[in-house]
Structure 1
Amino acid sequence: MAWIEHDYADTAALTAAVAGHLHAACADALQARGRALLALAGGRTPFPIYRALAAESMPWSDIVAMPGDDRCVAHAHAASNVAALREAFAAADGLRIEALTVAEGDAQASLRHARDMLARNRDAFDAVVLGMGEDAHTASLFPGAEALPAAMTMDAREDAFLVVPDPLPPEAPFPRITLGLARLLRARGLHLIVTGARKRDVLRAAQATHDPLRMPISALLHAPDATVHIHWSP
């Protein structure tokens, strides 16, 4: 268990720094293995990071990215993380973005698709970017969800899970496909993006208490042999 905290004056500084971390992770992976694999969070804060990364000159055809979670909606829907990733990386010619959901968004079909896709992408992620909600969820590992205990199991036989938040967030009332905790932790670099004073208070509580079912982010922070880079700005 370890974490390294990086504090920034504002989101612009955070954006530049995390884009630099991701660029370095890709460069190291390409040099060592000829391929890079990323799992990327949705939400408002990370997308400027991805646009900054996409502006870099890289052999994008050797890089694969996927959402860490996604809503079970059609890819044309405004709530689709994979659609937002495709837009953010529009300048990254050749980048392959894998979806966790099927194009029409059916939940059960998406779960089957995600598990099949992840079976073809078993390598450790070279970088994982995660966010955190004020309820201490990360990816779509929501406290109170029926599927949460299975998704948090370190010896889970599957890498993806269908999670229905309870209650459903009013701003995005959809079931989700999420990577499980064990798959998220199979990574060479873990980056947690946190902004604002309220979320920092939640982070501090999760750092102080290992309570995965009530505060799922605490499982990541307290995972043995994991180092989490925490990037915070006001």
Structure 2
Amino acid sequence: MIEPLFVEYPDAEAMADSLAGHVALTLAEATEARDIAGMIVSGGSTPKALFQRLAKRKLDWEKICITLADDRWVDADHPASNEKLVHESLLVDYARKAPFISLKTPAKTAVEGAPDIQKRLMDFPWAADLVLLGMGEDGHTASLFPGAEALDAALSLEGPDLCLGLTPKILPKDAPFERMTLTLPALLDSARIILMLKGAGKRHVYDRAMAGTDIYEMPIRAILHQHEVPVEVHWAP
């Protein structure tokens, strides 16, 4: 196992400021080296300040393809949509030129929509230059939820799928929706993973995850305990 690099900040604003420079440099180096770069991002409130700072960076955004680690199976204009957050917070200002691959189709369910999303993701420039993840209080990351029916397939390193439709065993009250998630092999097909955490509660969950090995109990362990991709954990109280 490659021990994750742990970086602590005095507050969330300092974390967003530092990561904006860090991520921008990574993307600039990638676009200088190749015709197109790839970044996978996550939704939620934690990365919003980072997105807003990144959008104001003068990068070759037309060369930076962006997609999501997961999304709720709702329309792109729904308040719970991660795509909506990305369009409003990241794909603005200079970053409005970045190509974006949506994880939503008109299909009724995520399971039915997965084959079309799989085809779309073939156009993403694998391996990703950067994956930005979050973590839930139950130890999930992306939409790899403990106890989900399709979790075994989503965590299988031998599986052929880049994405899967998945429903959390216990639906969060604030987002009781089916999900589309990238699988573990897709997330690990990357040069670097950044885990962004905020608050004392998330620090406690992270410590628990590092202390155990059962990836089905806490799927974030499949990211933290692997030895293929460098992981950075950035935390602010």
Q: Per-residue CA shift, 1:166-225, capped at 9, x if unaligned?
A: 111110000000000111011111000111111111111111111110000011000122
Q: Which SS does the other structure have where 2:38 is aligned? A: strand
Matched residue, 1:222: 225
Q: Per-residue CA shift, 1:60-106, capped at 9, x if unaligned?
A: 11111011100000111111111210111211231111101115764
Which of 97, 100, 103 is equivalent to 1:97? 100
TM-score (norm 2): 0.95
Structure 2 residue 196 is matched with structure 1 residue 193: yes
Aligned counterparts, 1:1-234, within 5 A: 1=1, 2-88=3-89, 89-91=91-93, 92-102=95-105, 106-121=109-124, 123-234=126-237
Q: Which SS does the other structure have where 1:64 is aligned? A: strand
Unmatched segments (≥5 aa) in structure 1? none
Q: Which SS does the other structure have where 1:93 is aligned? A: helix
- Greater CA drift, 138-147 or 114-123: 114-123
Q: Which SS does the other structure have where 2:235 is aligned? A: strand
TM-score (norm 1): 0.96
Equivalent pairs counted in the alignment come to 234
Amino acid at match of 2:33: A
Unmatched segments (≥5 aa) in structure 2? none
Identity of counterpart residues, as a percentage?
37
> Take 2:161 and 2:111, find their aligned partners in 1: how far apart are those partners?
14
Backbone CA RMSD of aligned residues? 1.3
Amino acid at match of 1:70: D
Amino acid at match of 1:146: E
Q: Which SS does the other structure have where 2:4 is aligned? A: strand
2:193–2:231 contact (8 Å) kept in structure 1: yes
The ranges of structure 1 where at least 4 consecutive aligned residues each deviate by more than 3 angstroms after the TM superposition are 103-106
